Amino acid sequence: MPPRSLEIGPAGIRAARTIEIVRTERGLSQRQLAGRVTALGHPMSNTMLSRIERAQRRCDVDDLVVIAEALHVSAPVLLRGWPAA
């Protein structure tokens, strides 16, 4: 079986950009958001978050759900883009 492509598609890129937008609108640094995510039981470093926001790391569904919770938005908002359509 060939290895799975690591290319990030349009939905992943939109989610990455939306995470960054919402985080900055909330006045949070990457370190602060990563701390919130970790406090919710999903260990994440600010480096991991930075790579997600720059679409250099895939944001899996578990990452997406806990990042949304830490930002006080729903996961679909992160997938649709900000402001919510």
- Average pLDDT over the chain, rounded to an integer: 92
3 part of a folded domain: no
4 part of a folded domain: no
Which pLDDT does position 85 carry in this prediction? 45
Helix (H) / strand (E) element for 10: namely helix 10-25
Average confidence (pLDDT) over 57-85: 91
Q: Note down the domain range covering 56.
A: 10-79
Identify whether the C-beta of residue 22 lies closer than 8 Å to the C-beta of residue 73.
yes
- CB half-sphere exposure, 1, CA atoms < 13 A: 3
Q: How many CB atoms lie within 10 A of CB 39?
A: 11
1 part of a folded domain: no
61 part of a folded domain: yes
2 part of a folded domain: no
pTM over 0.85: yes
- The number of distinct structural domains making up the chain is 1
